[in-house]
């Protein structure tokens, strides 16, 4: 029983380390890129507002994910 509990803890620690590594290298968690894109959209929205342009979707700014 104790051996299986120890093995489970070891397995969970390995799994946690693997998930952390995958998360660190994932585009989904690329906060710097997300922030830069969001700031670019906000700037474009503000520029359109200052020019008096009508509201529109800003899909042309969406950066495609590779």
* pTM score: 0.55
Does residue 11 form part of some domain? yes
Confidence of residue 50 (pLDDT cuts 50, 70, 90): very high
What is the predicted pLDDT for the residue at 66? 43
What CA–CA distance (Å, rounded) separates 47 from 1?
66
Confidence of residue 62 (pLDDT cuts 50, 70, 90): low
How many domains does the chain contain in total?
1
Does residue 66 form part of some domain? no
Q: Is 22 helix (H, G, I), strand (E, B) or coil?
A: helix
What is the predicted pLDDT for the residue at 54? 85
What is the predicted pLDDT for the residue at 2? 47
Domain enclosing residue 56, as ranges: 2-61
Does residue 14 form part of some domain? yes
């Amino acid at each position: 029983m104790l051996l299986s509990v120890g093995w489970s803890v070891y397995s969970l620690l390995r799994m946690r380390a693997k998930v952390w590594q995958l998360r660190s290298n994932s585009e989904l968690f690329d906060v710097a890129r997300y922030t830069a894109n969001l700031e670019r959209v906000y700037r474009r929205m503000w520029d359109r507002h200052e020019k008096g342009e009508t509201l529109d979707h800003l899909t042309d700014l969406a950066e495609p994910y590779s």
